Structure 1
């Protein structure tokens, strides 16, 4: 079944995902009343069975061919469920929750039931042509989604590296040691043996042990970052880095001040999206110009 095809009558279902329970709000064509169903979190067989049963019941009531149309919010569960449902002929959309309209004049209770009911009504309007009520998220291919792990893991490792460096500096600063060697490589073990505090004392036994553990963690993070950088370079060279429009990476990397990692990050996380291309490109060039002016 073509995932973009629509029958004359549609049953809409919005899934509120959580670890223990999947709450499904169903809106039939013959009624404006939202019905709620529950399946155990992760039980895809029960979910598909419930959706197919709902579709069959609606077809029997309306007396015409009926399709089931499903949506859920992008988030912790990723995109695997959308791919799973689409493979089984169920038209599925993933919605950007930040695009949902919010009534700022009044405070509303937030529960899974209310969220699911609101989402299914909003999705029906969206599917029937009102594109102002929410925004659909592009579902990446598994290989494309997997390729993003390189730059995302590297960002996490860079943050972890900063934490270890700051911790080492802070521990040494407590004893007046401001010049720290071997943070970015080198024989830190030898340096720890000879370094002395500002009042000419050797490092305490427990302080030296704690610093050794921090340096060991930092050394491991350095190794992981180097390994990721090699994988990134190899993937760009042999074409196995499955991000969309990889040619943009090479073009963006030619700009002054932007390396390959930043180029990959921009292409995989930003420039694959459906924007007004001219406005985004102008904004990017303006950002880059300011970045160079301030010396970042």
Structure 2
């Protein structure tokens, strides 16, 4: 940073307290520590204002402040608050920070805060390999992700309840789950492995699980209806909405897959396909040492939600797009092999499919052999 009286600030966030480490460029060798109550944003702004006043050498001169903290449970509200007050804020990706691997290292809030100060100083001096900074989404972009993420949690809740019902019945020697449409009749007809009726407390627990399952299903339907209405009401000149509509026209891609891919990945700008695949975390990691040069398994860094969706979509692509170029590539590569080889190949296909869909929504380039929902194949 060009200003000689610039201030670097690192905040170690926790639920109960915030530890603020401060260091000025003008010759200070040690950082100063300030402890604030957790969530005390006004106290933080007051502290920054006091630091700027002390660092100012001339009347009217305002010291430049750069502030950083790690991405975590606090989200991005603090970043938006600081930037709204003219403070340069940076959100660090915690797992990207290099640490000493020689032995077991000490872990304290003070050491973490001082380590972030060193990372911030190196980043501002031009070292972009020292760590990764999080690209903070706008409030609208962040809010647009809420629908499919809530649906994901509701689907997980539905699966947990269904598995719990089956597990309870399994302990009584009963395979299968009663139908929700004829629950009372089916439960009354159930008999345990020793031909006895279900115990009363077990029946009561199963009934409560049934009500929870019905509520989860109702909430999922309500969420999907609300999402469809929102998409229909959205302006078609909105580029993000156009991308969702374009993906929905492809056979095998439903509304949920389209929403996840666009809201999690395609709303961002990527310069090349390597950046895209790295963001999703489905790029193989190179291993080169001496005469050995090979690719290891995928990095699994990046967006896990998008990565899971792409793996699932790759399996569905083989079913709904059998005449496509990617499906043909997979069959030629794998043939009749099963097991681990097939799973490795589907990840490679998911990477190719992600790049093909990205080019499709960005430039209109239609993948080879693509079939749309109407049953016609694109030329």
Could you say which TM-score interval applies, normalised by the shorter chain?
0.7 to 0.9
Q: In the superposition, relative to structure 1, how do residues 32 and 62 fare at CA in structure 2: closer, same or farther (>3 Å)? A: farther
SS of aligned partner of 1:245 = helix
> C-alpha distance in 1, partners of 2:202/2:60?
78
The one of 3, 8, 12 equivalent to 1:16 is 12
> C-alpha distance in 1, partners of 2:118/2:239?
33
TM-score (normalizing by structure 2): 0.68
The one of 193, 196, 211 equivalent to 2:191 is 196
> C-alpha distance in 2, partners of 1:61/1:108?
43
1:27 equivalent to 2:27? Answer no
The one of 208, 221, 232 equivalent to 2:227 is 232
1:255-294 equivalent positions in 2, closer than 5 A: 255-273=250-268, 275-279=270-274, 289=314, 292-293=317-318
> C-alpha distance in 1, partners of 2:268/2:29?
34
SS of aligned partner of 1:270 = helix
The one of 28, 39, 42 equivalent to 1:42 is 39
Shift of 1:64: 5.4
Structure with the bigger RCO (C-alpha within 8 Å, sep 6+) is 1
1:245 equivalent to 2:251? Answer no
SS of aligned partner of 2:184 = helix
TM-score (normalizing by structure 1): 0.86
Is the CA contact 1:244–1:268 (under 8 Å) kept in the aligned structure 2?
no
> C-alpha distance in 1, partners of 2:144/2:52?
36
SS of aligned partner of 2:92 = strand
> C-alpha distance in 2, partners of 1:131/1:98?
15
Q: In the superposition, relative to structure 1, how do residues 94 and 244 fare at CA in structure 2: closer, same or farther (>3 Å)? A: farther
Shift of 1:44: 1.3
Mean Cα deviation higher: 20-29 or 262-271: 262-271
Q: CA-atom RMSD, angstroms?
A: 2.9
> C-alpha distance in 2, partners of 1:281/1:72?
25
The one of 181, 188, 196 equivalent to 1:186 is 181
Shift of 1:105: 2.3
Shift of 1:226: 1.0
> C-alpha distance in 2, partners of 1:187/1:12?
65
Q: In the superposition, relative to structure 1, how do residues 244 and 12 fare at CA in structure 2: closer, same or farther (>3 Å)? A: farther
Is the CA contact 1:27–1:121 (under 8 Å) kept in the aligned structure 2?
no
Is the CA contact 2:19–2:109 (under 8 Å) kept in the aligned structure 1?
yes
